[in-house]
Amino acid sequence: MAKTVRKKSNGKFVGVLVLVVIVGVAALGYVVAQPRAGIRPVDPNLPPGTAEGYLVGNPDAPVKVVEFGDFECPACGQWATVTEPDVRSRLIATGKISFRYFDYPLDVHRNTWPASNAVACAADQGKFVEMHDGVFAAQDQWNGEATRDPSKVLRKVAESVGLDMDAWQKCYDAQANYPRIKASQEEGARRGINQTPTFIIGSTIYPGAMPYDQFAKAVEAEAAKAAASSKPAGPAASKAPSTKNPL
């Protein structure tokens, strides 16, 4: 009898193992099939977009930084909670960069649109940063693996940042900011963004989360470009113009 039970148990184990292998191979095939875009320059011929995003910092800072992110993306969450605090205190607060966040919700994430909607409704009350941080900090509680209904967790986050909850709830239920989110998503597609997070630092696109040192180095490179382009002309260019007839 014990042997029979062991055989059945072994059979179940083999079945589960086969399923894991199949799923793993399928997932690997999905990853391999995705287009990979490395660091590349911004297309100079691309006209300005109309999506707004969310601006943090001085809009006149010498280096402009853009992030395309997904609130349910684990890499975005890690970057937001580990690296972004340093970026804010050392680069944004000091006036070295301005930072604009664009929603780029990915189809693979079930609850990312409600999360973007929750943050947008908080931004309507001037609380983008606080809600952004709270939603990322609670990502493991409201994401698609944790629940099919993220609204309760998102409401708790909204309450924690001190919003007018009646106004927030009305905005959230009406999905009032979905057009804004859609516009940001379309802007990312227009720029060829194919993973989150992706950063545009000055004139260069950097796909993937970056540690602070790498991020700061990229900012320094763009700041140097900006400084060089704003320098006055050299001595040769400042000479008095010739009185000779050029013809």
* DSSP label of 90: I
Residue 197 is predicted with a pLDDT of: 98
The 3-state DSSP class for residue 65 equals strand
d(CA 47, CA 36): 24
* The token pair that represents 3 in the structure block: 């042997």
Residue 232 is predicted with a pLDDT of: 65
Would you list the domain boundaries of the chain?
40-223
A 10 A CB-CB count for 126 gives: 9
Q: Residue 238: enclosing H or E segment and its boundaries?
A: none
Q: How far is CA 66 from CA 20, 28, 45, 98, 136, in A?
A: 38, 30, 18, 8, 18
- Of the candidates 122, 217, 109, which has an alpha carbon nearest to the alpha carbon of residue 172? 122
d(CA 125, CA 129): 11
For 227, what's the count of Cα atoms within 13 Å in the CB-facing half-sphere?
Answer: 7
Residue 227 is predicted with a pLDDT of: 86
A 10 A CB-CB count for 64 gives: 19
Mean pLDDT by 10 residues, the chain (247 residues): 47 44 35 57 90 97 98 98 98 98 97 98 98 98 97 98 98 97 97 96 97 98 88 53 36
Yes or no: say if 132 and 96 are a contact pair by the CB < 8 Å rule. no
- Of the candidates 131, 149, 130, 133, which has an alpha carbon nearest to the alpha carbon of residue 141? 149
146 contacts: CB under 8 Å, gap ≥ 6: 140
Residue 226 is predicted with a pLDDT of: 85
Determine the distance from the C-alpha atom of residue 21 to the mean position of all C-alpha atoms in its chain, rounded to a whole number: 32
Q: How far is CA 24 from CA 15, 19, 31, 236, in A?
A: 14, 8, 11, 65
* The token pair that represents 90 in the structure block: 């050392």
Query: What is the pTM for the complete model shown?
Result: 0.79
Residue 229 is predicted with a pLDDT of: 79
For domain 40-223, give the CATH number.
3.40.30.10
d(CA 86, CA 130): 16
d(CA 62, CA 60): 6
Backbone φ and ψ of 190, nearest 5°: -65, -30
